[in-house]
Amino acid sequence: MLSLGALSFAAPWALAGALALPLVWLVLRLTPPSIRHVEFPAVRLLFGLDPTQRTTAHTPPWLIILRVAILLLALLGLADPILNLRKTDNNGPVIVVIDNGWAAATQWEKRIAIARDILESADRRNQPATLITTAPASADAATPPQMLPAREILTQLSRIAPRPWPTDRAAAAKQLSALQGADGAAATWISDGVESIGTEELRATLQRFKPVTTVEADAANAPVVLSPPERAFGPGDNKDAPRGATDSVKIAVSRPATSASPAASYNVRAVDKDSQVVARASVDIAAGEARGNAVMALPAELANRITRFDVDGSATAAATALADDRWQRRPVGIASATDTGIAAPLLQDAYYLREALAPFADVRSGSLDELLKQPLAALMMAGGGRILDAEAERISAWIENGGLLVRFAGPRLDGNVDALLPVRLRSGGGRTFGGAMSWGTPATLAPFPETSPFNGMPTPEDVTVSTQVLAEPSSDLAAKTWARLADGTPLVTAERRGQGWVVLFHVSATPEWSKLPLSGIFVDMLRRLVDVSRGVPGDDGNESAATLAPYALLDGFGHLSPPGPTATPIQGPAFAEAKAAPETPPGLYGPPGATHALNLAAHLPQPEAIAGSAGAAHLTLDAVARERVFKPWLLTAALVLLIADIIVSFFMRRLTPRFPAFAKAGVAVILVLAGGFASDLRAADKEPVASDFSPAILAAVLETRLAYVVTGTPEIDRTAELGLTSLTKVLATRTAAALAQPARVDLGAASLSSDTLVPYPMIYWRITAAQTQPSRHAFLALTNYLQHGGVVMFDAPEQVGALGGGAPGAIREKLDAILAGLDIPPVTALAQDHVLNRSFYLLHGLPGRYADGRVLVVRDSAANDAVSSVVIGGNDWAAAWAKDASGLPLYATIPGGEQQREMAYRAGVNLVMYALTGSYKSDQVHVPAIMKRLTQ
């Protein structure tokens, strides 16, 4: 072995080859370049030209230099030069103890590089070696360390990674003492510098070996621990909190402190799920101190987006704190019956709720049915209306489990419509004060009661209430009241049901009834309400016995990844006590959307630095001079230059391949292939699109037609069909409405949904006594149809002897039973000036086969373009319309006469025009007045 300063040669004899270099130089110089053969016709003329300058034909000098350089590099490489060769007399085994707990992730590359360096050095000297890791391994990789050739230990080294849990040095000490064939070994301990179980034992065990070297990170690079941040409402006492900050997050960073620890500033980042930094906080730790605190003040919307905190520049599991779904916003559903369109958002209840909830909650909109399928913390029901019995059961069960139902009054909440109200309401409409015709003034709010969750909020002075629904007085009304008006009437009432709450706002969620939805206090009230909710019911780790399966786990560097096979689920009740360990690594546990975070730092003690020990050489990570081997680099350089030389030689001999020809051929092949694919694609386009619509739906969508509900009585159904058919003919002859053949609606069909009903402008439903009660599914479909602009005409003649009658009053009972299953707004008798009476013909009443029946329509329908969604009557219209194939009426009209039949047709025409054109004709009432004005 030859040494020149820090540089050593492992195989110096190879350098002897350099002696041959001058000779090579000479040979290269003299060897003429290779001869080219050229066919030449005028060769005779060249015969006489004697080559007088044969010796001047030299290889170009740069080529000689290139080739000599190749030779030199190859010789140097073979000589195997090594920088900083570790000079040691010890030829015994080599022991490397490496800490791979959470703290070792800082400067992990350097730790591995030092271990690799030691092992490669041992490999060069053919020394046996072993590698001992101090962090407990996962269950699958628990093999006791052995003395092996250093080459095999190097492959072990490439497999180890820092673990996201603390080290157990006592176990490592035990492995070390049990090690066979370790006599006379040299030991190196690459320490993470953090005290843990059994540090002293390990140190004592290491004393057996000579020499012992301890390698540590310097104090400035000590690992840090980020305690899981705590979120609190209110910006805290932070002086420089940004405007709009509503939440504060307390952040604590600690480190193993020694007297040598310098002052440090750590940048804590809050990151959302898209890895974007939401907020930053700077934590300063003074020199020699161990802990530092900071408060991050930020708006609730931003705080809700946070999924993890980490310390910038410190990629370890302990410097990463995950925020789980419990940290984030709670899911709140908004179910609104009147949320049918976007034409007038400012008139819709859902708009105000959504705006008020958006800053702090995860708002989900949709029908009750869809919402109840999702995990919800609170459910807001706007726009009044009753809850159908079938859904009421599901909602009740959900409330019992801890759900929070918040309802708002409205025009449709009239009396005790269902059981899901906290107090009994007085029916007969709400109370109005301070209207244009009233002496009273709008009411203001009283201070919030102390038992209310709103307690402590300032009493707003600008909120006035002009309309409210009133509760029936009862003994417990005061206890149930969370907010009241200045006159003592309740504004918000609540009742506990099981683990959940039912809350009622006695005003609507629109500004029609009060100014509450426009006020900032509304946002705060809803926020307090959402805070009252228990989170997603059945999802609280402390009380649920469900096991939480690992969802995503942290590795030693603080990266989230899908769980491996060794991670085990945690029982729900045990989650609070769970610690980061090989079986339960830190990370997120539980189903998506309801995850629980297990953070390493939550159960870590304050990290403490390992006290220095005597008898061992101490080095810092950066101070270790690493052996550098140049052989591969030199040989690679020689090879690269050799390839360059070959290429140069090719050029000098004009042996370059003819690339253009190849390129042209290649381009042509590619173009041909591309053309082939393109034609395939075009062919694929032409394949017909399979239709998944049934012919009935297609027919309903492609042509407008009337529909009737199948009752199950053949005679009635035939009458309805014939009646609608002749009405369709009458419409075609007298009006512009050219409708197609009427359709049947079978309420018992499995394919029935609001989607299949929506194409029909009007459905005629002749009630019979023998009819079966429709299923819940059918009721849902019909309710949806009515809320989205559909019109159903109920025809229930009560006259004795009416078709399908049965016992007196049976049809009426059936009608009541059916209407109870539907969400129908309050109805009133048809007024003389109602649009229905003048949509085509000017009529006085709507006669059918009978002329004396009452007709009911929706009282004040603001929705659906002011079209009444139901028309309830008993004049047996279809019987009056029905004609047989020869054009003769099937049933006589009562009291009689073709005059009445004609009026029945006119009533039918008005009904269909009303369903098709809506309230358009109501404007026509004013046409004479408008014309009069215009002509003046």
Partner 1 sequence: MTLAVKRKESHRLRVAADAVSATLPPLLVSARRIAASVTMGSHGRRRAGVGDSFWQFRPYSKDDTPQAIDWRQTAKFGTVFVREREWVAAQTAAVWCDTSPSMRYRSSPKLPTKAERAAVMMLAMAELLIDGGERIIRLTADGRAQRAAAAGRLAVAQMADAVAGELLADAPESSMPSFASALPRHATVILISDFLAPLEDIAAALSGLTRQGVVGHMVQVLDPAEETLPFSGRIRFIGLEKEGATVIDRAEEARAAYMRKLAAHRDGLKAIVASAGWSFGLHHTDRTPQATMAALHNAVTSHFR
Residues that bind partner 1 (CB under 8 A): 32-49, 51, 53-54, 56-57
> In this complex, which beta carbon is closest to partner 1, that of residue 614 or of residue 661?
661
CB of 657 to partner 1, least distance (A): 16
CB of 37 to partner 1, least distance (A): 5
> In this complex, which beta carbon is closest to partner 1, that of residue 33 or of residue 211?
33
> In this complex, which beta carbon is closest to partner 1, that of residue 43 or of residue 614?
43
Q: Hey, which residues does 850 pair with through a beta bridge?
A: 894
Q: Which two tokens stand for residue 542?
A: 């402390």
Backbone angles phi, psi at 659, to 5 degrees: -60, -40
> In this complex, which beta carbon is closest to partner 1, that of residue 37 or of residue 844?
37
CB of 48 to partner 1, least distance (A): 7
Give Cβ neighbours of residue 566 (< 8 Å, ≥ 6 apart). Answer: 138, 139, 140, 582, 583
Q: Which two tokens stand for residue 322?
A: 């995950």
> In this complex, which beta carbon is closest to partner 1, that of residue 42 or of residue 689?
42
Q: What is the CA radius of gyration of the chain?
A: 44
Instruction: Say how far apart CA 231 and CA 249 lie, in whole Å.
Output: 5
> In this complex, which beta carbon is closest to partner 1, that of residue 45 or of residue 683?
45
Instruction: Tell me how many degrees the CA angle 84-85-90 measures, rounded to the nearest 5.
Output: 135
> In this complex, which beta carbon is closest to partner 1, that of residue 33 or of residue 806?
33
DSSP H or E segment with residue 301:
helix 300-305
CB of 23 to partner 1, least distance (A): 23
- Asked if residue 454 lies in contact with residue 497, where contact means CB atoms within 8 angstroms, the answer is no
CB of 661 to partner 1, least distance (A): 12
Q: Which two tokens stand for residue 801?
A: 């002897």
Instruction: Say how far apart CA 845 and CA 856 lie, in whole Å.
Output: 11
- Asked if residue 154 lies in contact with residue 120, where contact means CB atoms within 8 angstroms, the answer is yes
Question: CB-hemisphere CA count at 13 Å for 711?
Answer: 29
> In this complex, which beta carbon is closest to partner 1, that of residue 239 or of residue 658?
658
> In this complex, which beta carbon is closest to partner 1, that of residue 53 or of residue 259?
53
> In this complex, which beta carbon is closest to partner 1, that of residue 33 or of residue 244?
33
Strands 378-382 and 320-322: unpaired
> In this complex, which beta carbon is closest to partner 1, that of residue 36 or of residue 686?
36
**Helices 21-30 & 61-78 angle (0-180, nearest 10):** 150
- Across 602-727, the runs of DSSP E, i.e. the strands, are 617-620, 628-629, 705-709
| Site of tokens 């976007």 | 342
CB of 647 to partner 1, least distance (A): 18
Instruction: Say how far apart CA 773 and CA 387 lie, in whole Å.
Output: 19
The secondary structure of residue 664, as a DSSP letter, is: H
CB of 31 to partner 1, least distance (A): 11
CB atoms within 10 A of CB 868: 24
> In this complex, which beta carbon is closest to partner 1, that of residue 44 or of residue 682?
44
CB of 630 to partner 1, least distance (A): 38
CB of 654 to partner 1, least distance (A): 10
DSSP helix/strand/coil, 476 = coil
Q: Which two tokens stand for residue 646?
A: 């070959």
Give Cβ neighbours of residue 448 (< 8 Å, ≥ 6 apart). Answer: 454, 455, 456, 457, 459, 482, 483
> In this complex, which beta carbon is closest to partner 1, that of residue 645 or of residue 813?
645
Instruction: Say how far apart CA 377 and CA 364 lie, in whole Å.
Output: 11
CB of 54 to partner 1, least distance (A): 5
CB of 656 to partner 1, least distance (A): 15
Q: How far is CA 804 from the centre of its chain?
A: 55
Residue 81's identity, in one-letter code, is P
Strands 361-365 and 291-298: unpaired
Q: Which two tokens stand for residue 14?
A: 């190879």
CB of 55 to partner 1, least distance (A): 9
Q: Hey, which residues does 283 pair with through a beta bridge?
A: 266
Instruction: Tell me how many degrees the CA angle 710-780-753 measures, rounded to the nearest 5.
Output: 60
- Asked if residue 588 lies in contact with residue 308, where contact means CB atoms within 8 angstroms, the answer is no
> In this complex, which beta carbon is closest to partner 1, that of residue 48 or of residue 565?
48
Backbone angles phi, psi at 220, to 5 degrees: -70, -20
CB of 660 to partner 1, least distance (A): 13
CB of 659 to partner 1, least distance (A): 16
